[in-house]
Chain A
Amino acid sequence: MTAGRTRRGKILTHLLLLPFLLFALFPFYHMTMTSLKQDKELYDRFAVPLWIKQGPTLDHYAKLFRETEFLTWTKNSLMVTVLATTASVVIATIAAYALSRLQFRGVNTFGTGIFVTYLVPTSLLFLPLAQVINWIGLADSKWALVVTYPTFLVPFCTWLLMGYFRTVPKEVEECAMVDGATRVQALWRIILPIAIPGLVCATLFAFTLSWNEFIYALTFTSSSEQITASVGVTSELIRGDIYFWGELMAGAVLGSVPIVILYVFFLDYYVSGLTAGAVK
């Protein structure tokens, strides 16, 4: 009796979830379908847009690699993301350790400063930052992105890691120091290994945030050899009023692939990091 009722309730829950799942996933499905369609079906106003009837094709993907700089853009994205992420996680780790474990003058002020910086939206600063980039001679260079991305990655990662460091009991560290380890050794050998989930989480989020960044990339770089994947696909694949929808969608799909791969492997970290970042 109760088993039947819970089963029915479970089915009802899944049915109610269905519209949400459809809403979340349909755009990706549609993008992928569009990128695989032949042009004659793509531009047939009477064809059913939901599936492929006249056979799939990889033409749009081939064109993307042959006729555009898509590979260069992806390489740029990868380089910027890897460098900015590495630098940010290192800077954030030591800052978070200092903020969550050490007593010194100004620790609270700096903690508040980090939090405030975390809330400053990138769209508030892109104009003056563009001037700074000009002065230091990085105009239209992907290095400008390597330098500026840490401004939003470091506050985020510091905030996230402070939460993780606080969960490591102080006694563990004190034990190591009683046994003769210095503070730095205790951090390196005891705290960091325990905080690995936090470090993975910070790295994943930093990677995702810099891969997805758009306004700085759009503002600080413009030539085809320097731009990132997001900027390349949105600006270089549109020539005047002619849109190559097949290639556009192929670019959008491929530009998301690195993140999707990470996401599939580390889903649980994304879920926990999302909540930790906001609530802690």
Chain B
Amino acid sequence: MAIGTLPAARAHARLPWRARVSELLDKERVLGPLFITPALILIALLVAYPFCMALYFAMSNAFIGRPSHFVGLRNFINLWDADIFRQTFQNAFVFTGISVAFKLVLGISLALLLNQQLWFTRMIRGAVLLPWVIPTALSTLGWWWMFNSLYSVVHWTGINIGLMDPPGPNWLGQKYYAMAAVITVNIWRGLPFFAITILAGLVAIPKELYEAAESDGAGAWSRFWYVTLPMLKPVLAVVVLFSTIFTFSDFNIVYVLTHGGPINATHLFATYSRMIGLESGRIGEGAAISLYLFPLLVFVVWAQLRFVRKQAF
């Protein structure tokens, strides 16, 4: 008996403490905040705080290794007056506008095709999605080689099927060709996201709608126009918003393929900001350049919160 009571007594002594903790953990208003604390700390220290720093930097003349002074909005104004920045601004809109438009049209077409009865559904989907999962910096190297001025396979093909005259364009050395090259790679990399997401939207459209339209005598085109497109609208809105923000802020493709050249013809906010902020050390100005992305970000966040989350909850 005496031997048996000892562990029991010890267990009893431990119980109140453990019981209290587990009782506390069972309360939602305790467990909830506890569970979000790690994420909250992370976001506060490494997202919110750097963001405030970016705001401060952008309004100062910060330079690597030198004390900085507040200069108000001067960085933003100076940038706006500079030709290179104007060029960057314009590039960003051209790049994003053309890329997103192509990705949308091609994405819808590809999704419609993938939604048909196929022989190797899994393999085809796998192949379509591949550009999206491979490290962009590395696959862009492959494109760089494909656009190489001497050994370009794009050239070789173009000349051999009679689309181009030898010696053919210098893809990455001429303004418009370089932009076309950068846009092509962006479409290549972003198309899977559009196609697969739109495909998910297509699958979710009830079959009855098509049957009803068909019995009303609607042809393939009007079924697409009056049933598919309206039903896809929410998905399309989400995809376009997502893609706009990530295309606008793209860095990898331009950095690897052209470094912003030739003569700044392909610089985007991110690459130009890196060049000014890190390579020339003018952190203040660099931060101001990337903050030009901010109004767009605010718009996309607003639109997403309004349209997307309304559906989710």
Across-interface contacts of A110 in B (CB, < 8 A): 36, 40
B25 touches A184 (CB 8 A): yes
Find out whether the CB atom of B142 lies under 8 angstroms from the CB atom of A219.
no
**Interface of chain B, main secondary structure:** helix
Contacting pair A28 B196 (CB below 8 A): no
- The residue of chain B having its C-beta at the shortest distance from the C-beta of A27 within the complex is B142
B229 interface residue (CB < 8 Å to A): no
Whether a CB of chain B sits under 8 angstroms from the CB of A121 is yes
Contact A112 B145 (CB under 8 A): no
Which of A28, A97, A148, A184 is close to B139, meaning CB atoms less than 8 Å apart? A28
B54 touches A256 (CB 8 A): no
A sample of 9 more A-B contacts (CB under 8 A), given A212-B137, A245-B151, is: A9-B116, A25-B127, A30-B146, A98-B33, A98-B34, A106-B33, A115-B305, A230-B138, A252-B141
Chain B: interface size category: 35 or more
- A70 proximal to B (CB < 8 A): no
Q: For residue B303, give the distance in angstroms from its CB to the closest CB of chain A.
A: 10
Report whether B113 and A256 are in contact in the complex, using a CB–CB cutoff of 8 Å: no
A271-B304 in contact given A27-B188, A230-B138 (Cβ < 8 Å)? no
Which residues in chain B, 52-82, are within 8 Å of chain A measured between CB atoms?
A: 53-54, 57
Q: Which of A92, A94, A124, A234 is close to B290, meaning CB atoms less than 8 Å apart? A: A124
CB neighbours of A231 from chain B (8 A): 137
Q: Which of B2-10, B42-50, B211-219 contacts its partner?
A: B42-50
166-193 of chain B: CB within 8 A of chain A: 188, 191-193
User: In the assembled complex, how far is the CB of residue A66 from the closest CB belonging to chain B, in whole angstroms?
Assistant: 20
Expressed in whole angstroms, the Cα–Cα distance for A184 and B138 within the complex equals 43
Q: Does B105 contact A (CB under 8 A)?
A: no
Say yes or no: A274 contacts B29, CB within 8 Å.
Answer: no
Which residues of the partner chain B approach A95 to less than 8 Å between Cβ atoms?
Answer: 35-36, 38-39
Q: Which residues of B contact A115 (CB under 8 A)?
A: 301, 304-305, 309
Q: A104-B32, A274-B196 in contact; A215/B251 too (CB < 8 A)?
A: yes
Query: A121–B50 contact, CB under 8 A?
Result: no
Cβ–Cβ < 8 Å partners of B29 in chain A: 103-105
29 contacts between A and B (CB under 8 A): A10-B117, A17-B110, A20-B106, A24-B192, A27-B131, A27-B142, A28-B142, A94-B36, A115-B305, A116-B301, A117-B47, A123-B249, A123-B251, A123-B269, A123-B290, A123-B293, A124-B51, A212-B135, A214-B255, A229-B138, A233-B137, A233-B138, A245-B145, A245-B148, A252-B139, A263-B133, A267-B129, A278-B193, A280-B312
Query: Does more than half of chain A's interface fall in helix, strand or loop, or is it mixed?
Result: helix
A21 on the B face (CB < 8 A) = yes
How would residues 173 to 217 of chain A score, 1 for a CB under 8 Å from any chain B CB and 0 otherwise? 000000000111000000000000000000000001001101100
Residues on A with C-beta less than 8 A from B131 are 24, 27
Interface check B210, CB cutoff 8 A: no
Q: Are B39 and A275 closer than 8 Å at their CB atoms?
A: no
Also in contact, A234 and B242, with CB within 8 A (given A259-B135, A274-B193): no
Contact of B26 among A148, A182, A280 (CB under 8 A): A182
Nearest Cβ in chain B — how far from A183, in angstroms?
Answer: 5
**Which residues does chain B contribute within 8 Å of A80, judged by CB atoms?**
none
B→A interface (CB under 8 Å): 22, 25-26, 28-29, 31-36, 38-40, 42-43, 45-47, 49-51, 53-54, 57, 106, 110, 113-114, 116-119, 122, 124-139, 141-143, 145-146, 148, 150-151, 153, 156, 188, 191-193, 196-197, 200-201, 235, 238-239, 242, 245-246, 248-252, 255-256, 269-270, 273-274, 277-278, 283, 286-287, 290-291, 293-294, 297, 300-301, 304-305, 309, 312
Docked complex Cα distance between A192 and B136 (Å): 33
| Complex Cα–Cα for A64 and B54 (A) | 39
- Residue from B124, B145, B188, B248 in contact with A30 in the complex, judged by beta carbons closer than 8 Å: B145
Which residue on chain B has the smallest CB distance to residue A213? Answer: B135
Q: Is the CB of A214 within 8 A of B135?
A: yes
In the complex, whether A56 has a CB less than 8 A from a CB of chain B is no
Residue among B134, B191, B192, B273 with most chain A CB within 10 A: B134
Interface residue from B35, B197, B251 paired with A278 (Cβ < 8 Å): B197
A1 at the interface (CB under 8 A from B): no
| CB atoms of A275 and B200 under 8 A apart | yes
Kindly identify, within residues 97 to 115 of chain A, every residue whose CB is under 8 Å from any CB belonging to chain B.
97-99, 102-107, 110, 112-115
**Chain B residues closer than 8 Å to A124, beta-carbon distance:** 51, 54, 249, 290-291, 293-294, 297
> Chain B residues with Cβ under 8 A from A34's Cβ?
145
B74 to chain A, nearest CB (A): 18
Taking CB atoms, residues of chain A closer than 8 Å to B283 are: 127, 131
Given A102-B28, A129-B46, CB of A255 within 8 Å of CB of B135: yes
The answer to whether A10 touches B119 (Cβ under 8 A) is yes
Q: What residues of chain A lie closer than 8 Å to B54, measured between beta carbons?
A: 124-125, 127-128
Q: Is the CB of A271 within 8 A of B129?
A: yes
Given known contacts A28-B134, A117-B43, A124-B293, A132 and B50 CB-to-CB distance under 8 angstroms: yes
**Complex partner residue of A131 from B39, B47, B53, B193, CB under 8 angstroms:** B53
Judge whether A248 is part of the interface by a CB distance below 8 angstroms.
Answer: yes
- Most chain-B CB neighbours within 10 Å: which of A6, A9, A158, A252? A252
B50 near A125: Cβ-Cβ < 8 Å: yes
Q: Check A130 for interface membership: any CB of B closer than 8 A.
A: yes
